[in-house]
Amino acid sequence: MVQPDAARAVPLEGLLALDLTGELGWLLGKILADLGATVLKIDPPGGDPGRCQPPLLHGPAGSVGAAWVAFNAGKQRTDLDLAVAGDRARLVELAASADFLLESEAPGRLDELGIGWAVLSERNPRLVMTSVTPYGQDGPLAYVPASDLELMASGGAAWLTGDPDRPPVRVSIPQAAAWACANAAVGTLIAHHHRRLTGRGQHVDASSQCGVLPMLVHAPTFWEMARVNPMRAGAFLVGRNVNGARMRNIWPCRDGFVTFAIYGGSAGRLSNRALVEWMAEKGMAPDFLLAIDWDTFEVATMTHREVENMEAAIAPFFLTLTKREFMEQTEARRMLGYVVATAEDIAADPQLKARGVWTDADAPELGRAVRLPVGWFRLAAPLQATQ
Amino acid sequence: MSATIEDTGAARLGERPAALADLRVVEFGGFAAGPAIGKHMADHGAEVIRVESRLRLDGFRTNYPPYKDDQPGIERAGMFAITNNDKLGVTLNLKSAAGLGLAARLIERADVVIENFTPGTMERLGLSHEVMSARNPGLITVSTCNQGATGPHAQRAGFGTHLTALSGFAHLTGWQDRSPALLWGPFIDYIAVAYGAVAVLAALEMRARTGRGCHVDLSQYETGIQLLAPVMIEHFGTGAVPTRMGNRHPTAAPHGIFPCAGVERWCAISVHDDAEWTRLRAALGGATWAGEESLATAEGRKSAEDDLEGRISEWTRVRERVEVVEILRAANVHVAPVNDMRDVFEDPQLIHRRAFRRLEHPVIGPHSVPGPAFVLPETPDVIASPAFTLGEHNRYVICDLLRVDEDEFASLEAEGALQ
């Protein structure tokens, strides 16, 4: 069994990060705190203006946004009024002995206040300062405001998502800031590595629009190499078939949705074969499915009609299953596929429980505990060779 | 035994020193989850050596369009090309004792191993972190897999699209009255890639302090949950089961994507406070409907959202996207074009940020690979070389790095160890 506590490590213990960020930059300091750094969140008097973004959580001590709790857990907090000279001097003092300073103001804002990179790095040449902004520190859009929706749009992710007969949609809850921060954390720690070798810090400039681009994966490559402009296809997967056939990837089941697709390749063929065997056991496999030679089966060359026929046979079968049955049987039968999980499904997932992912932590703003996902940086327990 | 700056590929090729030029990384596996972590390292000057085998090719070479001129081929695959720039490629037959021996010698000389096999595979090959760190105590191994190496679902293989659904993203994406929408590509892989690169760098910090490496067990699922933590905290705290809401926002309105003139031209518009609404109203030309008093407050706009979206669409759909964006930017209203996959190459800001880099691939020809989402002014990335062809650097890795002489190299080839 897993012993999550023994598996946790604090590789950045002893490093100090000053965190001046708003919503756009919260996760960056959180990632450093997850790794054991001391992260001091510095808020204006009265608190971070983003802390009351809904949905709100309530407790005996007050109310605060779920996102604020999620992305500021594990940080220490203090107030400084950067409009006041004394507090700015205090910040410069703190930064003189800090390892990292994280911020997400509009480009140039800290310079205007006399606490920008030039000033801070002169006092502390070892400092690594990371700025997370919508579009980066320079360029034609550097001063243009953007929320998650505009970043999902200008970063291309919205173009790829949603039903064809309705407008493109954003991806889940706000993600642009989180992706920007996860990537900014990579840049911040690369700068830290360089500092360790040279003693010199630098100003890391992270763009949230660029942070969205990894979501596009190879979609821009389709344009560049094949002059194909892939676009939203609802629950279907495109781009795996030379005839342009779309593969359904999300299917309704008895109590929600599951994800499964007809794939090629060795793993896909095994999975397809296992599904048809399962359907046959329930008397729901039509003859043409039973007749397919899976060893030579290729998804890439199927026609639209062939794909449609297969999917029309599979859909009614999935409608007879609950998510739980689907999960248990796909595992037992070594098929590719999972449930389309809700928060309730995730909360109940035995894998996450076994890995000790959930922890109850005190949220002083609420005066009660909240349950958080923790421990993604996990040292492996030695595995025995399996035969 | 760590790599030194002198004997890494970056120095060999006479390139300027980069932030990670002191590191040697060896990759095992394929697709995105492992190799895209290695790309972060390679982009910043680490010598990244990918171990491949002709007997089990990377799925990105074989099963993943697009291909150059629509013709499948192991050197023609776009997905492989954009994931493996600036790396060295060696082919080793891990089913042969000699091939395994070479892999072990390579790991002995590495700072970092990144692998995304099914849990237990490295152990079965005799290349586990436990075994290899006895010979190389500074070795850092990052193993990345779907759900982590322990727990009841450790052995579940799966593709990124499915795991993206398991971790909650799909349920939250799309329209409430419709099926959840599929997210493009192996979405969650790229969350785990950023966290994986962070894990490598954090482990390097730990090694710098203690002299010892470590083995990180990275669960892609768990990194995805990190980014949906607000949803889970809300669920645990209130019992709510949040669902998809199209483009809508809990309080801001309007908050949507609107049609512009032409086919499939869209723009995002959002209004976050009353002052911004006043600016939008003026920019729309002060239409009578927009002057209604009920719309002056966020609550009022929220309750009239359907109508509001319809009215704004009437205004946007008769204008070119560029015009809508220009007018609303001039009015300091949140707006952006919905860039399609052609637009991302032509977006002035993305061009300014050098978001894509043109490289010349020997088979594909000129093509773009993604640059990092951040700029390091003191140690810029060193993206310069296209993805390696299969076995391209066998001689360098085996003869120069592992000091195998020409005769032995020839016999290794003859016995199939370099398949």
Contact B158 A336 (CB under 8 A): yes
User: Which of the 8 DSSP states describes residue B16?
Assistant: P
As a whole number, mean pLDDT of residues B76-84 equals 98
Q: How far is B411 from chain A (nearest CA, A)?
A: 30
pLDDT at B385 over 80: yes
Residue B8 pLDDT: 43
Residue A265 pLDDT: 77
Q: Write the CB contacts of A58 (distance below 8 Å, at least 6 apart in sequence).
A: A366
Least confident of A5-9, A143-147, B287-291, B391-395: A5-9
Range with top average pLDDT, B61-75, B263-277, B287-301? B263-277
Residue A235 pLDDT: 96
Partners of A33 on chain B (C-beta within 8 Å) are none
Q: What sign has the CA pseudo-torsion A345, A177, B87, A227?
A: positive
Q: How far is A324 from chain B (nearest CA, A)?
A: 12
pLDDT at B13 over 90: no
pLDDT at A386 over 60: no
Above pLDDT 70, what percent of chain B? Answer: 96
Residue A7 pLDDT: 58
- Look up residue B270 and give its amino acid: S
Closest listed residue to residue A231, CA positions, set B191, B180, B264: B264
Residue B6 pLDDT: 41
* Domains delineated in chain A: 4-216 (3.40.50.10540), 235-345 (3.30.1540)
Name the pLDDT band for A153 (thresholds 50, 70, 90): very high
What is the C-alpha separation between B48 and B87, in angstroms, rounded? Answer: 5
Partners of A355 on chain B (C-beta within 8 Å) are 148, 150-151, 219, 222
Task: Convert the pLDDT of each residue in A229-246 to its tens digit.
Answer: 999 999 998 877 777 788
What is the C-alpha separation between A45 and A43, in angstroms, rounded? Answer: 6
Above pLDDT 70, what percent of chain A? Answer: 96
- Asked whether B125 and B154 are in contact (CB, 8 A), the reply is no
- Asked whether A230 and A222 are in contact (CB, 8 A), the reply is yes
- Asked whether A272 and A289 are in contact (CB, 8 A), the reply is no
Residue A243 pLDDT: 77
Q: How far is A190 from chain B (nearest CA, A)?
A: 7
E strand spans, B303-399: 334-337, 356-361, 365-370, 374-375
Least confident of B159-163, B317-321, B373-377, B403-407: B159-163
- Asked whether B373 and A213 are in contact (CB, 8 A), the reply is yes
Q: Write the CB contacts of A305 (distance below 8 Å, at least 6 apart in sequence).
A: none
- Asked whether A177 and A132 are in contact (CB, 8 A), the reply is yes
Partners of B81 on chain A (C-beta within 8 Å) are 221
Least confident of A72-81, A304-313, A377-386: A377-386
Contact B151 A343 (CB under 8 A): no
E strand spans, chain A: 16-19, 38-43, 56-59, 62-65, 76-79, 100-103, 128-133, 203-207, 236-237, 247-248, 250-253, 256-259, 338-339, 358-363, 368-373
Mind spelling out the 3-state secondary structure of chain A?
A: CCCHHHHECCCCCCCEEEECCCHHHHHHHHHHHHCCCEEEEEECCCCCHHHHCCCEEEECCEEEEHHHHHHHCCCEEEECCCCCHHHHHHHHHHHHCCCEEEECCCCCHHHHCCCCHHHHHHHCCCCEEEEEECCCCCCCCCCCCCCHHHHHHHCCCHHHCCCCCCCCCCCCCCCHHHHHHHHHHHHHHHHHHHHHHHCCCCEEEEEHHHHHHHHHCCHHHHHHHHCCCCCCCCCEECCCCCCCCCEECEEEECCEEEECCCCCHHHHHHHHHHHHHHHHHCCCCCHHHHCCCCCCCCCCCCCHHHHHHHHHHHHHHHHCCCHHHHHHHHHHCCCCCEECCCHHHHHHCHHHHHCCCEEEEEECCCCEEEEEECCCCEECCCCCCCC
Name the pLDDT band for B2 (thresholds 50, 70, 90): very low
pLDDT at A3 over 60: no
Contact B233 A229 (CB under 8 A): no
Name the pLDDT band for A204 (thresholds 50, 70, 90): very high
As a whole number, mean pLDDT of residues A185-191 equals 98
Nearest CB to B191; choose among A182, A372, A381:
A182
Residue B255 pLDDT: 98
Task: Convert the pLDDT of each residue in B130-150 to its tens digit.
Answer: 999 999 999 999 999 999 999
Query: Residue B100 has which token pair?
Result: 């395994």
> Is the backbone of residue B142 left (phi > 0), alpha (psi -120 to 50) or beta?
beta
Chain B residue with Cα closest to A134 = B349
Q: How much is the ipTM here?
A: 0.96
Residue to test with chain A: of B155, B167, B198, B317, most A Cβ within 10 A: B198
pLDDT at B5 over 50: no
Task: Convert the pLDDT of each residue in B290-308 to its tens digit.
Answer: 999 999 999 999 999 999 9
Contact A136 B337 (CB under 8 A): no
* Domains delineated in chain B: 5-227+353-414 (3.40.50.10540), 255-345 (3.30.1540.10)
Name the pLDDT band for A298 (thresholds 50, 70, 90): confident
Indicate the pTM of the whole model.
0.96
